[in-house]
Amino acid sequence: MKLATWNVNSIRARRDRVLEWMAANQPDVLCLQELKTEDADFPAEDFRGLGYEAAVFGQRTYNGVAILARGPLGDVERGFGDGIADQQARFVAATVADGVRVMSAYVPNGEAVGSEKFAYKLAWCERLVAFLRARVDTGGLAVLAGDFNVAPAPIDVHDPALWEGHVLFSAPEREAFAQIVGVGLVDIVRRLNPTSPMYSWWDYRQLAFPKNHGLRIDHVLVTPALAALAAAAHVDRAARQGKLPSDHAPVVVEFAERPAAGC
DNA sequence: ATGGCAATGTTTCATTGA
């Protein structure tokens, strides 16, 4: 199984680029964030033409997440279903054809440490942890992929001294990320690449991409059983190049096929 | 500390992102 996660910064603005990337890279599963599009305007037919079904949780202008996969998507959950009023479409889960539970998450940006949006970000992460504990079998095959808007460690930041204490790299956010991983998940991209930065986002401004002034804020977290099958992970920097790219690049993880039952 | 870049709707600027 080949799985990728990609914050596309508007699926309507990035439709052709994403379709071309799918055709060229042939992932089995793609988790999308920042659709900025209502369900009705998600280009589901274009993806179906490439052989993918979609579970979409869209929203006008902001947020919006989806899972694309070969074959049917079962048990789709949109949001945490925790009874808390929340207008923001940031989480969708579905079971893909081979039984893996897949979750696509778009953690709030947080704007600035100490702001109202920062408090919302931390509270949202606590709700995610509660959902994972209550609803996900960490002893089985599951993956939580998406834009976490947190760089977990200094290696994930091009200039850790500059970023220390700022939003995306503050102590409360790093602790929130540790709590998420702490439910029993593995940061598989870092495990497979312990010494390479693996940046996934570069600011549009100040020539950040050509200077490689990036952050690793998009992550793929897997259960131990799935981690045991993981073979390789990379960031597709080529998808950050060219005209009008997303500011994020796809993060790709390849897993060995499971042994067939009974063998 | 500020601004720069991109997408969207509130559209010829404001808001948000990270």
- Checking each nucleotide's C1' against the CA of A35, the nearest proves to be B7
Q: Could you check: is the Cβ of residue A36 within 7 Å of any atom of nucleic acid strand B?
A: yes
Among protein residues, the one whose C-alpha sits closest to the C1' atom of B9 is A61
Q: Residue ranges of the domains in chain A?
A: 2-255
- Residue found under tokens 């440490």: A113
**Of chain A residues 67-106, which have a beta carbon within 7 Å of strand B?**
none
Residue A185: per-residue pLDDT:
98
Nucleotide nearest to A243 (CA to C1'): B6
pLDDT at site A262: 47
Averaged pLDDT, A116-140: 97
- Residue A168 near residue A150, CB atoms below 8 Å: yes
The gap between A102 CA and B17 C1' (Å) is: 25
The answer to whether the C-beta of A217 is closer than 7 A to strand B is yes
Would you say A1 and A222 are in contact if contact means Cβ atoms under 8 Å apart? no
The pLDDT assigned to A258 comes to 74
Q: What is the pLDDT of residue A161?
A: 96
pTM strictly above 0.85: yes
CATH topology of domain A2-255: Deoxyribonuclease I; Chain A (3.60.10)
Statement: residue A58 has pLDDT above 50: yes
Three-class SS state of A181:
helix
Residues 194-213 of A with CB under 7 A from strand B: 201, 203-206
Above 90 in pLDDT, residue A257? no
The C1' atom of B16 and the CA atom of A225 lie apart, in whole Å, by: 38
Q: Is the CB of A147 under 7 A from strand B?
A: yes
- In Å, how far are A142, A184, A235 from A138, measured between CA atoms? 7, 6, 25
Q: Which residue has the tokens 């439709």?
A: A15
Residues of chain A with pLDDT > 70, as a percent, come to 98
pLDDT band at A263 (very low <50, low <70, confident <90, very high): very low
Q: What is the pLDDT of residue A98?
A: 87
Digit-coded pLDDT (tens) for A234-247: 999 999 999 999 99
